[in-house]
Amino acid sequence: MITSSNASTFKKIIAASIGVIGILMLMVLSMLKSQPFILTGLAFLMIGISIFIYWPSMGTYIGLFVIHTNLSVIMYKFHGVPQAAAGATWLTIGIPFTIYVFILRKKVMIDYTFVIMIFFLMTTLMSYFMAVDQAMASDWIFTYFIEGMVLYFFILNIIRDRVSMRNVVWTLMLSGTLLGSLTLFQEVTKSYDNNFMGLAQRQTAFGTEEIPGGDTSGIVKERVKVRRAHRADGPIGDPNRFSQIMLLIFPLVMFRVWDEKKTLMKGLALLGTILTLCGIFLTYSRGAFVTLCFIIALMTLMRYIKLGQVIATVTVLLTVVLIASPGYFNRMASIGGIEGLFSSEATHETDTVILSRTTEMLAAFTVFLDYPVFGVGPNQYTRHYSEAYMANPDIAFKHMKSTRAAHSLYFQMLAELGLLGFSGFMLIIFYTLYKLMQGRIFWKDKDSELANFATGCMLGIMTYLTTSIFLSFAYHRYIFMMIAISGAVIQLLNSLKIEYLAKNNQLPDGVELPDSNGMEINSGQKPRTEPQMFA
Query: Can you give the three-state secondary structure of 138-195, one letter per residue?
Result: HHHHHHHHHHHHHHHHHHHCCCCCHHHHHHHHHHHHHHHHHHHHHHHHHHHHCCCCCC
Please tell me the distance from the alpha carbon of residue 426 to that of residue 439, in angstroms, as a whole number.
20
212: part of which helix (H) or strand (E)? strand 206-212
CA dist 46 and 91 (Å) reads 16
Amino acid at position 310, single letter? V
CA 492, CA 478: separation in Å to the nearest integer? 21
CA distances 151 to 15, 48, 140, 148, 485, Å, are 25, 21, 15, 5, 10
Query: Residues 480, 466: contact at Cβ < 8 Å?
Result: no
> Helix, strand or coil for residue 70?
coil
- Sign of the CA dihedral with 270 first, then 276, 280, and 282 last: positive
- Report d(CA 138, CA 133) in Å as an integer: 9
Q: Calculate the alpha carbon distances from 495 to 307, 344, 491, 513 in Å.
A: 35, 58, 6, 8
DSSP state of 103: I
List 226's β-bridge partners, or say none. 207
State pTM to two decimals.
0.82
CA-wise closest residue to 111 among 153, 151, 161: 153
Which distant-in-sequence residues (6+ apart) come within 8 Å of 136 by Cβ? 378, 379, 380, 383
Do 477 and 89 touch, CB atoms closer than 8 A?
no
Residue 206 forms beta bridges with which residues? 227
Helix/strand/coil for 534: coil
Query: Which DSSP string corresponds to 420-452?
Result: HHHHHHHHHHHHHHHHHHHHHHHHTTT-HHHHH
What pLDDT score does 269 carry? 93
Other Cβ atoms less than 10 A from the Cβ of 427: the count is 15
Rg (CA), the chain: 25
In contact, 382 and 405? CB cutoff 8 Å: yes
- According to the model, what pLDDT value does residue 50 have? 66
d(CA 421, CA 126): 9
In angstroms, rounded to a whole number, what is the distance separating the alpha carbons of residues 155 and 153? 6
Longest dimension (CA), the chain: 84
Cα 484 from chain centre: 10
- pLDDT value at residue 451: 95
The confidence score (pLDDT) of residue 188 equals: 86
Nearest to residue 167, comparing CAs of 506, 518, 488? 488
The full DSSP string for 483-509 is: HHHHHHHHHHHHHHHHHHHHHTT-PPT
pLDDT of residue 216: 43
Query: Residue 371: CA atoms inside 13 Å, Cβ hemisphere, count?
Result: 27
Predicted confidence at residue 348, as pLDDT, reads 43
pLDDT for the residue 328? 60
User: What is the residue-level pLDDT of the chain in tens, covering all 535 positions?
Assistant: 444 455 555 555 555 555 555 555 545 545 554 555 555 555 555 666 666 666 777 888 888 998 999 988 898 888 777 777 667 777 778 878 887 888 778 888 899 999 999 999 999 999 999 999 999 999 999 999 999 999 999 999 989 889 999 999 999 999 999 999 999 999 888 888 888 989 999 887 654 454 444 444 444 444 444 456 578 899 999 999 999 999 999 999 999 999 999 999 999 999 999 899 989 988 888 888 889 888 988 888 888 877 776 677 667 666 766 655 555 655 555 554 444 444 434 444 445 667 777 888 888 899 999 999 999 999 999 888 888 888 777 776 666 677 888 889 999 999 999 999 999 999 999 999 999 999 999 999 999 999 999 999 999 999 999 999 988 888 899 999 999 999 999 999 999 998 888 888 777 766 666 543 333 333 333 444 445 544 4
